Chains A and B, each alone.
Chain A
Amino acid sequence: MKTEDLIEVLARGDDAPAKRKVWPRIAFALAVGLLLGVGLLLTFFSIRPDIGAARMMVMMKAGFAAMAAGVSLPLLMRLSRPGRATGWRVAAIFGFLALCAVVTAIALMGGDPSTRMQAWMGGPFPWCIVIIPILAAPTAALLGWLVRDLAPTRLTMTGASLGAVSGGVGAMVYAMYCPVDSVAFVATWYAVSIALCAVIGAVLGARLLRW
């Protein structure tokens, strides 16, 4: 078929796609992803037994995770459709990371030097870097399915921001399980876990977001 004829075919007939709003669908994906994450947590892990007494800390940690997701979401929204400059949205994410570093430093300096390492590492190994990506997976799958349909053109960047948003949601769920309440631990290892989700998202996004 000649290009000229193809244009005729494309222009003929009424197949203009229905206008669909993006935000409600993203919000739906985030809500369902969060619930599925909680489902995973209940199935394979557990909620910390002292959640009643520790609810303030759990809320703070979940709030931190929600902030990480919230600061990455504008970049994802921007990249999900073709030809829109990212502007301040990348800088916002790095600003948040810098804030995490400052908070960690202040928290560690204020603490007792003998327990500093314990406060920072939380224990022998920060398991959140394994568990948060697992809890983020349902959100990532839902967002990926949605975003792919919006025709993203910079797949690695889109995947990275999608991973960061999902990681933030995963970390919100993880906050219900996580037994470590030190500020330095959360500002470091939650951020590292979410960054890891962004890296996984970048690698997978380049393959799976193709349209």
Chain B
Amino acid sequence: MIEAEAELKALMLRGLSGDAGAHRAFLTAVSGNLRAFFRSRMRGAPEDAEDLLQETLIAIHTRRDSYDPSYPVTAWIYAIARYRMIDHWRRRGRRGEHIPVEDAPELFTAAEDVAVDAKRDVARLLAMLPQKQRDSIRLVKLEGVSVKDAAAQTGLTESDVKISTHRGMKTLMRLMAEAEA
């Protein structure tokens, strides 16, 4: 737990300062913990757990700016995971079981790295975004074009591309939540 905190926090801070490799390592490590956590909470529905995992990863990614470095990153991750799960149950019209507000340790004691297929296809949901957001995400996130080149190709300004990408990812998370049966 303490090692997880120190390690994840270091990766998170490097990711926030623009180190894409650290950010990838952070998301990968967290996804192992989150998968084990969601599966244990949603027994018998590993695909639902995978959906929730993907949704939570996008939430963690797009809301990185809400992390306050003077607090543990594990508590921040746990709060978001807990929130996404409660939101998931609420959409299904269930009150859901009680999940303690501050109980991050449980989340970081187990990891599960074997993925199953998610039920929703994120790639299909991408097509539902407004064009500006869709184009920005396609270029920057899927094709790996630099923001500068993406701006040149779309005729948008660089900051417009960045904002559209960011907004698009947020919209995508909402679509994922809504697309769920």
For chain B, give the interface size range.
35 or more
Taking CB atoms, residues of chain B closer than 8 Å to A53 are none
A83 pairs with B65, CB closer than 8 A? no
B68 pairs with A15, CB closer than 8 A? no
A6 pairs with B57, CB closer than 8 A? yes
Per the bound structure, the CA–CA distance linking A82 and B174 in Å amounts to 18
A84 nearest CB neighbor, chain B only: B71
From residue A151, how far is it (CB to closest CB) to chain B in Å?
Answer: 4
B53 at the interface (CB under 8 A from A): yes
B61 pairs with A10, CB closer than 8 A? yes
A3 at the interface (CB under 8 A from B): yes
A112 at the interface (CB under 8 A from B): no
Per the bound structure, the CA–CA distance linking A3 and B114 in Å amounts to 10
Taking CB atoms, residues of chain B closer than 8 Å to A11 are 20-21, 23-24, 27
Per-residue interface assignment for chain A, residues 1 to 15, with 1 indicating a CB less than 8 Å from any chain B CB and 0 otherwise: 111101111111111
Per-residue interface assignment for chain B, residues 106 to 132, with 1 indicating a CB less than 8 Å from any chain A CB and 0 otherwise: 000000000101100111000000000
Taking CB atoms, residues of chain B closer than 8 Å to A13 are 20, 140-141, 144-147, 165
Per-residue interface assignment for chain B, residues 141 to 181, with 1 indicating a CB less than 8 Å from any chain A CB and 0 otherwise: 11011110000000000000010011001000010000000
Most buried by B among A2, A11, A210, A211: A11
A16 nearest CB neighbor, chain B only: B18
Per the bound structure, the CA–CA distance linking A154 and B71 in Å amounts to 17
From residue A57, how far is it (CB to closest CB) to chain B in Å?
Answer: 41
Taking CB atoms, residues of chain A closer than 8 Å to B68 are 81, 84
The 9 A-B pairs with the shortest beta carbon distances in the complex, nearest first, are: A82-B79, A83-B79, A11-B24, A83-B76, A83-B75, A153-B83, A13-B140, A17-B65, A1-B122
Knowing that A83-B71, A84-B68, A154-B101 touch, tell me 20 more A-B residue pairs with CB under 8 angstroms.
Answer: A3-B50, A3-B53, A3-B118, A6-B122, A7-B28, A10-B61, A13-B146, A13-B165, A14-B147, A14-B162, A15-B165, A17-B62, A19-B65, A81-B66, A82-B76, A83-B75, A83-B77, A83-B78, A153-B80, A153-B82
